[in-house]
Amino acid sequence: MGRSSGETPKVAVLMGGPSAEREVSLSSGRECAAALRGEGYEVAELDAGPDLCDRLRDIAPDVVFNALHGRWGEDGCVQGLLEWLGLPYTHSGVLASALAMDKQRSKDAFRAAGLPVVESLIVSKADAMAGHVLAPPYVVKPNNEGSSVGIYIVEEGANGPPPLAETMPEMVMVESFAPGRELTTTVMGAGPDAPARALGVTDIITEGWYDYDAKYKPGGSRHVVPADIPDEIAALCVDFALRAHTALGCRGVSRTDFRWDETRGAEGLILLELNTQPGMTPTSLVPEQAAARGIPFGALCRWMVEDASCDR
């Protein structure tokens, strides 16, 4: 990590930033920073802003732990900066991060890998509000945000399209609605010394849509780990998550989300999206799956630091 033997490695934990997921990122970053201190690292917490490059030079970390979420933090932008500065960092590299954040392009990669995804289109916000561009039920959402930010569900039989908020981007994704249970699988690894492995499957139970509040507010959802599902479906989730992780060229930790219509058996399992910077908050799914596999939170964070590198 660039320091002499026996010297405590210094880790800069990037958090916050300017995206719509700033508050969740701050929570993730604080949790990870505390865990890394508990593992014996020297830690500097860094709220990413316009002076990020200068502050990183001042701190001179051995490793950067990327706890940013959303645009700029998980779309390849900050990864490119870290590559330029020659600072080893966690999670996926520039290309994998950019692909995963662009929902339509990641779906193209998943289709090419033979993975099941729903029909989707990229249209202007004006067209999405002018009339149905897909037969209901369907979903309208930003193409490059995470954590269910800006989700609109158009129910079957709806008279017209939704009135989208002014904060929605000019181009949006419209995709067919996939009914069923919400499942997710974490994958770790895929570097030269860390073959990819899946941690298991979680069943996410909510009263309604698994939106931002359900993901991050206490009591917003209930997680069943491991999921109470047939072995065949669990095996498919693991297989699809590993293939999705590989298809995008991911590193470190990723989380792949699914919908499963149990009335259709294996044919009802649909891959929704892959997240290269999954949440690391007290209610987050990745730490829960790791704990279920006997990996404490501190050990998970330590593994991510030890896995960090450039040229990812």
Whether 210 is catalytic = no
Q: How far apart are CA 164 and CA 152, in angstroms?
A: 8
Query: Do residues 87 and 310 touch, judged by C-beta distance below 8 A?
Result: yes
Residue 242, pLDDT > 70, answer yes
Among the listed residues 66, 92, 147, 254, the single catalytic one is: 147
| Residue carrying the six token digits 């919908």 | 259
Among the listed residues 16, 17, 19, 21, the single catalytic one is: 21
| Residue carrying the six token digits 């033997």 | 5
Task: Dump pLDDT digits (tens) for 176-194.
Answer: 999 999 999 999 998 777 8
Largest CA distance in the chain: 68
CATH 3.40.50.20 fits 10-90, yes or no: yes
Q: How far apart are CA 129 and CA 173, in angstroms?
A: 12
* pLDDT recorded at residue 212: 53
Whether 275 is catalytic = yes
Residue 34, pLDDT > 70, answer yes
Whether 268 is catalytic = no
Task: Dump pLDDT digits (tens) for 211-240.
Answer: 555 555 555 678 999 999 999 999 999 999
Whether 216 is catalytic = yes
Q: Worst-scoring range by mean pLDDT, 111-115, 143-147, 257-261?
A: 143-147
HEC string for 152-164: EEECCCCCCCCCC
Phi, psi of 229 (to 5 degrees): -135, 160
Give domain 98-116+179-307's CATH number out of 3.30.470.20, 3.30.56.10, 3.30.465.10, 3.40.50.720. 3.30.470.20
- 61: buried, middle or exposed (CB in 10 Å: 19+, 13-18, 0-12)? buried
Residue 138, pLDDT > 70, answer yes
* pLDDT recorded at residue 51: 96
- What band does 281 get if pLDDT is binned at 50, 70 and 90? confident
Mean pLDDT, residues 168-177 taken together? 94
Tell me how far apart the terminal alpha carbons of the chain are, to the nearest angstrom. Answer: 16
* pLDDT recorded at residue 20: 83
Residue 49, pLDDT > 90, answer yes
Whether 21 is catalytic = yes
- What band does 4 get if pLDDT is binned at 50, 70 and 90? very low
The model's pTM is 0.91
Whether 273 is catalytic = yes
Task: Dump pLDDT digits (tens) for 143-166.
Answer: 987 555 678 999 999 999 999 999
- 293: buried, middle or exposed (CB in 10 Å: 19+, 13-18, 0-12)? middle
More confident residue, 149 or 203: 203
Mean pLDDT, residues 107-113 taken together? 97
- Which of 145, 84, 50 has its CA nearest to residue 64? 84
Q: How far is CA 277 from CA 14, 34, 145, 155, 305, in A?
A: 12, 18, 12, 30, 14
Q: Which residues contact 25 (CB under 8 A, 6 or more apart)?
A: 15, 16, 17, 19, 67, 68, 69, 70, 73
Q: How far apart are CA 279 and CA 234, in angstroms?
A: 22
Mean pLDDT, residues 88-96 taken together? 98
* pLDDT recorded at residue 21: 87
Angle, alpha carbons 8-293-67 (nearest 5°): 45
Chain-centre distance for alpha carbon 289: 14
Among the listed residues 273, 284, 302, 307, the single catalytic one is: 273
